[in-house]
Amino acid sequence: MYNRFTARIWAFAIIASFTAIAAKPPKEAPVCQGDNGGITLPPGFCATVFADNLGHARHITVAPNGVVYVNTWHSIYFKDKSPPEGGFIVALQDTTGQGKANVIKRFGPDLKQGSNGGTGIRLYNGALYVEMNDRILRYTLTPKSIIPTAAPEVIVSGLPLEGDHPMHPFIIDKQGNLFVDLGSASNACQLDNRKLHSKGHNPCTELDTRGGIWRYDANKTGQVFSPKERYATGIRNGEGMAIDEQGHFFLTQHGRDQLSQNWPQFYSTAQGAELPSEEVVLLEKGADYGWPECYFDNILNKLILAPEYGGDGKKVGICAQKRAPVAIYPAHWAPNDMVIYSGKQFPAAYQNGAFITFHGSWNRAPLAQGGYNVVYQPMTNGTPSGKYSVFADGFAGKIKEPESATYRPSGLAIGPDGALYITDDVQGRIWRVVYH
């Protein structure tokens, strides 16, 4: 039986013997060499290509012994019709201290055999939790191997898959609460999704099963999705989750699309490119963050009523009652992950601040596409403070377009030595960033 007591015993045993797994504990990489794997970083930082060509790498987590675990996924819509051989979960280890994985092992179902893979992946109480298709699985880890030897247990099943945002990113807090994002199935809950002048469902019954955060017990198997576990609502697509040392729960949100395309009488093409903001919200139980009725206007600096629900680009209406974000970013950049920097390796200015990956836009025309970078957001006493700055860039290469970008940043994690790991879900590259 897998209970809280057993989980703690396993966790202590695994942590105590982590050094037995690694031939050598990871060392800091040599002084910067090469081109940082094709990306640009602030002075004093350098990157190695920790691994490459893993498939479409999404979120990432790093164990206390430095072993890296990555969730990958595959879709019929990808240009590369043949995913990598082997399981969709990848375990990687650097036993030489050179900042590159020399041990790479795959496990879990093969992407060609019934699994689409997923985004979410976390470590908790000595076990690895992974999203696959419509469920979250738990793999027990042992000190003898970097990959699990037993079949996984199902923690939650039946998570909705259809529609615009089928992924299920998640996070687990210190109390064992497992929070899952269920992104919306539509752009703005329209009667005819993404169509000209189509009004919104009123009420938006999609919110019964999508567009919010659900809470489950990470220590309990056999849970089945239902509307009653909804924790917070009005969140269109919350891919990035981070909890700081004080317990503040921060969540990124992808803003809606197609204001000018669907409602040209209210929005110019320039406004459609710049609206609405991408967001970071402070998540609280029972809170409503506004989707689909509201979006955040970075020019007016407030939540505005959506045109599908009677808005005209200026009205506030019921949005005055919704929860506003605590930080905002340019429209359509697509924030895919967020991590609070808990390491000690980076300079003091980065301590306890947040890194956010932006997957990159497809709909900022007639402006140039944006995002495709990693930004740093300062934090003070658990609150975003000051303007963000671009920390890592150059991922896309010469053309910032989804179909042409060389790399698109997706996942983030902090290693036990304070290194920052960044994944790419085009070719499956992982960068390891350190400070010298």
Q: Per-residue pLDDT for 139 more than 80? A: yes
Q: Per-residue pLDDT for 9 more than 60? A: no
Q: Per-residue pLDDT for 22 more than 60? A: no
- Average pLDDT (399-420) is 96
| Per-residue confidence (pLDDT) for residue 110, from 0 to 100 | 86
Q: Per-residue pLDDT for 29 more than 90? A: no
pLDDT tens across 219-230, in order? 999 999 999 999
- Average pLDDT (128-154) is 95
pLDDT band at 1 (very low <50, low <70, confident <90, very high): very low
- Average pLDDT (138-164) is 95
| Per-residue confidence (pLDDT) for residue 111, from 0 to 100 | 79
Q: Mean pLDDT check: name the lowest of 44-48, 76-80, 421-425.
A: 76-80
Percent of the chain with pLDDT over 90: 85
Distance between CA atoms of 61 and 79, rounded to whole angstroms?
A: 27
Q: pLDDT: is 431 or 86 the higher one? A: 431
Pairing of strands 327-329, 278-282: antiparallel
* Torsion, CA 235, CA 237, CA 239, CA 241, rounded to 10: 0
Q: Per-residue pLDDT for 8 more than 50? A: no
Enclosing domain of residue 79:
4-435
The pTM for the full model equals 0.92
pLDDT tens across 72-130, in order? 998 766 777 778 888 999 999 999 999 999 999 999 998 766 668 899 999 999 999 99
Q: Per-residue pLDDT for 187 more than 50? A: yes
Distance between CA atoms of 124 and 303, rounded to whole angstroms?
A: 36
Average pLDDT along the chain: 92
Percent of the chain with pLDDT over 70: 91
- Residues 304 and 292 sit within 8 Å (Cβ to Cβ): no
In 273-418, where do the E strands start and end?
A: 278-282, 294-297, 302-305, 327-329, 335-340, 354-358, 373-377, 379-380, 383-384, 389-392, 409-414
pLDDT tens across 372-383, in order? 999 999 999 889
pLDDT tens across 309-368, in order? 999 999 999 999 999 999 999 999 999 999 999 999 999 999 999 999 999 999 999 999
- Residues 39 and 431 sit within 8 Å (Cβ to Cβ): yes
Say how many domains are in the chain: 1
CATH code of the domain in which 179 resides: 2.120.10.30
Q: Per-residue pLDDT for 26 more than 90? A: no
